[in-house]
């Protein structure tokens, strides 16, 4: 399984001879743009979304329509994208389903989920989520945007997580120290910090994170946008 980071919360996972995008915010994502990533050059079989905020929904509609990729999201967000003409599969928190590309379960996330309409008013789109993704015997946990929450203990008990992607940018989500607390409960083999240094409110000293994570025995990889790791 090859996992490529596009900055912020966006990843491409290549597994089972399929390509799966998670939260493909490319256009307007300074990290992706600096790395020369272009939304119209990305191909995939499926797009997994944690919630409807623009920095996660990103280029989903354009990529899904161009490629025919199946968008897997919580119910209201899936229906919103279906109305825009995307192929979707709706799910709910706690539900698990096998697809050709792998198995998906949506988990709790403590956050919100909305899109801003043409009048600047938020339209609510149901529950935000985290994602457990399993394929080729590997387990990923993409936490989406979330506060620290104690049910991460259950996620850690029920899954042997090979790689956790955890937000660390603070302000809208956990900061670095809460992400370290999360590691104690999730017990992943590895962690990649996400959702930091994209915009002024989420600036952190990311170089401090690996040493902070090390205290829990978890190795942290600070991935450069455009770079990959293999599980
Ligand atoms: Ni958000
Ligand atoms: Mn976000």
Q: How far is the CA of 55 from the centre of ligand 1 (A)?
A: 7
pLDDT band, residue 23 (cuts 50/70/90):
very high
Mean per-residue pLDDT for 72-88? 98
**pLDDT value at residue 131:** 98
**What band does 86 get if pLDDT is binned at 50, 70 and 90?**
very high
**Strand pairing partners for 194?**
167
For position 224, what pLDDT does the model report?
A: 97
Q: Ligand 2 centre and the CA of 212: distance in Å?
A: 23
φ, ψ at 49 (rounded to 5°): -120, 135
Indicate which ligand has the atom closest to the C-alpha of 10.
Answer: 2
Distance from the CA of 56 to the center of ligand 2, in angstroms? 6
| Ligand 2: centre distance to CA 195 (Å) | 7
Task: Determine the longest span between alpha carbons in the chain, in angstroms.
Answer: 48
pLDDT tens, residue by residue, 190-207? 999 999 999 999 999 999
| CA angle, 92 then 68 then 40, to 5° | 110
Which ligand sits closest to the CA of 109? Answer: 1
Instruction: Give the Å distance between the CA of 112 and the centre of ligand 1.
Output: 7
pLDDT for position 173: 98
DSSP notation for 89-121: EEE-TT-EEEETTEEEEEE--SS--EEE-TTS-
What is the topology classification, in CATH, of domain 2-222? Metallo-beta-lactamase; Chain A (3.60.15)
- Give residue 76's pLDDT: 98
Average of per-residue pLDDT values in the chain:
98
Q: Where are the domains of the chain?
A: 2-222
């Amino acid at each position: 399984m090859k996992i490529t980071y596009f900055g912020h919360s966006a990843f491409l996972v290549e597994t089972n001879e399929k390509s799966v995008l998670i939260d493909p915010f490319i256009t307007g994502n300074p990290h992706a743009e600096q790395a020369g990533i272009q939304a119209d050059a990305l191909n995939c079989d499926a797009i997994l979304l944690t919630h409807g905020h623009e920095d996660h929904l990103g280029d989903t509609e354009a990529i899904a329509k161009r490629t025919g990729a199946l968008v897997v999201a919580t119910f209201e967000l899936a229906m919103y994208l279906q109305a825009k003409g995307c192929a979707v599969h709706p799910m709910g928190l706690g539900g698990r389903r096998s697809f050709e590309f792998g198995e998906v379960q949506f988990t709790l996330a403590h956050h919100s989920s909305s899109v801003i309409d043409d009048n600047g008013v938020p339209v609510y789109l149901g529950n935000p989520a985290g994602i457990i993704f399993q394929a080729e015997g590997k387990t990923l946990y993409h936490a989406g945007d979330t506060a620290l929450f104690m049910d991460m203990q259950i996620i850690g008990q029920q899954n042997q997580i090979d790689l956790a992607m955890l937000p660390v940018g603070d302000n809208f989500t956990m900061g670095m120290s809460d992400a370290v607390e999360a590691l104690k409960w999730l017990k992943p083999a590895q962690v990649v910090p996400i959702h930091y240094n994209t915009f002024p409110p989420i600036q952190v000293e990311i170089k401090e994170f690996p040493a902070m994570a090390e205290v829990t025995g978890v190795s942290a990889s600070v991935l450069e946008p455009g770079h990959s790791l293999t599980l």
